[in-house]
Amino acid sequence: MNPSDTGFVIICAAFVLFMTPGLAFFYGGLGRRKNVVSNIMSSFFIIGIATLMWVAVGFSIAFGTDFGGVVGGLEYVLMNGVGMIPGPYAPTIPFLAFAMFQMMFAIITPALITGAVAGRMRFKSLALFVVLWTLVVYYPVAHMVWGAGGWLAQIGSVDFAGGNVVHISSGISALVLCLVLGKRAGYDDANYRVHNVPLVAIGTALLLFGWLGFNSGSALAADGLAAHAFTASIVSAAAAECTWVVMDVAFEGKPTLVGACTGIVIGLVAITPGCGFVPIWAAVVIGALASPLCYLCVSKLKPRFGYDDALDAFGCHGVGGIFGGLCTGIFASKGINPSIAWDGLVFGETGLFVAQVVSILVTMGIAVIGTLACTWIVRRLLGLRVSEREERMGLDLAQHGERAYPSFNGLDD
């Protein structure tokens, strides 16, 4: 066991946990004033739900003994056998440190979905949906991608830090859930504006800070691969930020802070699956191309098809995650990480790209089917949407009895 690796992974786990409050502020600022408490509460409460579920059964289902390449067994229920000595996944750190690092991924993933349904879903329904979705979608996908014997790992697909497991699963589920819920009241007529730009910037700063632990910590050691993942991540974020600002100027005539923040997040999403596999020059390409793709999805595709992805969870995480997974199959190199079965397309091999396509399609299928099943159950037990009156009042008062700005009315409602 290596004390340096242990300390590094524990610190990175804390960084990743910090991302969920960062996401809360990011979503809180992007939404409407009357829903800011609701948006923030959705992420904060998921910290509690996801932590208890992970300790109880989640870690075992995701990383226990393989069953059919789809789920793990139950030998680690309530962290039984997960202690201070190394386990099967990381030989230089305590098994418990590995479990806690992975728990932070299980926390932020369902929180990402909440952005798509902001302003119209009952809190108790959202809480039940998160419980069911985590069991049905997140844990099986995590096992298939990262668990010993997982099917998607066996076919040779790779996901360094959560392109499939985190971003594609949550982004596709966000799209399905917002379609099932339907549009917000007055969606086609209302002018939805970002209500608190500084809060968006604060959330982005916390996300960027935590994401460097998210990606570099996935090396599970304080080594050169962690340094490479760190570098690729910040380079991709920088490239994506710059290209989003260019798109802002080209289409809107002015650079915006919200646009710059969104570009940073998209660059991090897109590089996440490949940060430990692709060269640094490829990280520049991935980030630079991801922003225009997501920009067009958010500004053109969403209005054309009329779906109400309130805070663009699908447009950023779903589209960015899919693009990043494909780019991993294009640019990955054994020279960066010899653990992969093949080099990427640009190095003359096709096997990895095909495996990436298969893994993305499988993840999307599980997310669609799992989300539909979960919403069916929640709808029949609790219902999904608040009433139109509550929606127009705002979820802060209707669901939580709180106001974010009780003595000031100068912001967007």
Residue 410 predicted with pLDDT over 60: no
Mean local confidence (pLDDT), 2-21: 98
Confidence of residue 185 (pLDDT cuts 50, 70, 90): confident
Average of per-residue pLDDT values in the chain: 96
Domain definitions of the chain by residue range: 3-393
Confidence of residue 412 (pLDDT cuts 50, 70, 90): low
User: What are phi and psi for residue 106, nearest 5 degrees?
Assistant: -65, -20
Domain at 3-393: CATH code: 1.10.3430.10
Residue 409 predicted with pLDDT over 90: no
Q: Which residues contact 380 (CB under 8 A, 6 or more apart)?
A: none
244, 291 Cβ separation under 8 angstroms: yes
Q: What is the pTM of this model?
A: 0.96
User: What are phi and psi for residue 21, nearest 5 degrees?
Assistant: -60, -35
Q: Nearest Cα to 34, choosing from 187, 182, 196, 183?
A: 196
Per-residue pLDDT reduced to its tens digit, 57-104: 999 999 999 999 999 999 999 999 999 999 999 999 999 999 999 999
